[in-house]
């Protein structure tokens, strides 16, 4: 019944925390498999909680990027008062930062039962000196959100299908990691043998609707930057390309939902030349002469856009080289991730 090497789920930490391939267990204090009251169980398990697949993170460390499989012990806090007194606590895991991750699959459906179990659990975790409490709730569990907020939780992040809330117990400043802050986009610079650049006019109701510009777009969740660049150009113009290098990137603050974005300017080699636009978003697309592109009032007046085109043309004319995507492994899990840099001489 007791696993030889129980494991807990490593929660990524903010400051360059390295990840581990085999996390060690953190036993809940005062817990032993014996003397458990009725209704409390302990078993090692491996489960895929929807949306809870976590890759442990070194934070932005200079190495050690890995993804841990989700394994752990479902620890239901034992009866700490008397073997005959049953307390209803929420199922949860300990993380390695003195925190707790509540199991969303075991939340009661009734708000009252949830409130009762949550209060009891919080009291218990406070006694144990726990710090950050993570509570993920699926859309179907929305009825429980008001209760969590009333008990002192706050929103952390969300996406379609779920919301994550947190509760910070200590009086010291909260050190839980922040929610994702940036969107990542690309601009694709594609030039043919006639020195004509692939451009689009977007169907937008704004004043730049008439401007010829580089194809741009946000990358998808978990998509590689260079894949996103190829995909966006293909979607908007029908032109196939291959990624060459990333020559610059822009960091803009407060562009949407008070968040920021990074836009990577990617040089792409055309593999086809026939244009077929995405009529939902694009009004027109064409291969344009450089003079016509930069002669537009928009480019004459916009420092940023003009500089980007200068950089791209310098790259095309071999006066400039950017970063190439190199696939490298990490020691911990053998997984590949991309390091963008210039080739070393």
Subset of residues 246 to 285 that bind a copy of itself, contact rule: CB under 8 A: 247-263, 265, 280-281
Residue that the structure tokens 């002192």 belong to = 152
> According to CB under 8 A, which one of 161, 170, 195, 272 is a site residue for a copy of itself?
161
Binding mask 79-98 for a copy of itself (x = CB under 8 A): -----------------xx-
Question: Taking the C-alpha atoms of 50, 186, 192 and 279 in order, what is their torsion angle to the nearest 10 degrees?
Answer: 70
**Which residue in the set 69, 119, 182, 195 belongs to the binding site for a copy of itself (CB under 8 A)?**
182
**Minimum gap (Å) between residue 136 Cβ and a copy of itself:** 9
Residues 96-155 touching a copy of itself, rule: CB under 8 A, are: 96-97, 139, 142-143, 145-146, 148-150, 154-155
- In terms of CB distance, is 80 or 302 closer to a copy of itself? 302
Q: Please name which of 183, 105, 113 lies closest in space to residue 137, comparing C-alpha atoms.
A: 105
Q: What is the chain's length?
A: 345
**Contact by Cβ (8 Å): 118, 150:** no
271 vs 304, beta carbon nearer a copy of itself: 304
Q: Strand, coil or helix: what is 278? A: coil
Torsion of CA 239, 242, 244, 248, to 10 degrees: 50
CB of 236 to a copy of itself, least distance (A): 8
**Contact flag: residue 3 with a copy of itself (CB under 8 A):** no
Question: CB under 8 Å to 234, separation ≥6 — which residues?
Answer: 240, 241
Sign, CA torsion 311/220/56/20: negative
Report the residue number, 139 or 195, with the smaller CB distance to a copy of itself.
139
Q: Tell which one of 2, 3, 15, 269 touches a copy of itself (CB under 8 A).
A: 15
Q: Taking the CB of residue 208, how many other CB atoms lie within 10 A of it?
A: 13
**Residue 121 beta carbon to a copy of itself: minimum distance, rounded to whole angstroms:** 19
Question: The tokens 């990542």 sit on which residue?
Answer: 184
Site residue total, a copy of itself (CB under 8 A) = 136
Residues 49-78 binding a copy of itself (CB under 8 A) are 51, 53-65, 67
Tokens describing residue 147:
């209760």
Instruction: Name residues contacting a copy of itself, limited to 230-249 (CB under 8 A).
Output: 232, 236, 247-249
Per CB under 8 A, contacts with a copy of itself among 303-332 are 303-311, 314, 319-323, 326, 328-332
**Residue 338 vs residues 18, 132, 225, 330: alpha-carbon distances, Å:** 18, 31, 9, 10
């Amino acid at each position: 019944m007791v696993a030889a090497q129980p494991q807990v789920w490593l929660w990524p930490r903010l400051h360059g925390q390295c990840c581990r391939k085999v996390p060690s267990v953190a036993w809940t204090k005062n817990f032993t498999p014996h003397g458990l009251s009725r209704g409390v169980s302990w078993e090692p398990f491996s489960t895929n909680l929807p949306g809870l697949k976590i890759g442990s993170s070194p934070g932005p460390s200079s190495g050690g990027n890995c993804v841990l499989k989700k394994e752990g012990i479902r620890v239901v806090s034992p009866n700490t008062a008397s073997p005959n007194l049953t307390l209803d606590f929420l199922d949860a895991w300990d993380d390695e930062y003195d925190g707790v991750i509540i199991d969303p699959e075991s939340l009661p459906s009734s708000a009252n039962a949830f409130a009762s179990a949550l209060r009891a659990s919080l009291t218990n975790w406070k006694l144990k000196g726990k710090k950050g409490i993570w509570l993920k709730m699926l859309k179907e569990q929305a009825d429980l959100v008001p209760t969590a907020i009333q008990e002192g939780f706050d929103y952390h992040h969300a996406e379609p299908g779920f919301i994550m809330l947190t509760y910070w117990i200590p009086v010291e400043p909260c050190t839980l990691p922040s929610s994702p802050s940036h969107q990542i986009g690309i601009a694709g610079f594609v030039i043919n043998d006639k020195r004509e650049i692939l451009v689009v006019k977007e169907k937008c109701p704004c004043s730049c609707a008439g401007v010829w510009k580089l194809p741009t777009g946000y990358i998808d969740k978990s998509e590689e930057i260079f894949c996103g660049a190829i995909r966006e150009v293909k979607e908007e113009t029908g032109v196939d390309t291959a990624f060459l290098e990333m020559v610059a990137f822009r960091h803009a603050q407060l562009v949407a939902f008070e968040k920021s974005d990074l836009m990577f300017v990617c040089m792409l080699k055309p593999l086809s030349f026939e244009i077929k636009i995405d009529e939902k978003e694009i009004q027109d697309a064409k291969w344009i002469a450089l003079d016509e592109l930069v002669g537009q009032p928009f480019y004459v007046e916009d420092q940023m856009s003009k500089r980007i085109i200068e950089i791209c043309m310098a790259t095309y004319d071999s006066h400039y080289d950017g970063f190439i995507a190199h696939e490298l492994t990490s020691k911990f899990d053998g997984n590949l991730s991309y390091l963008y840099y210039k080739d070393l001489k």
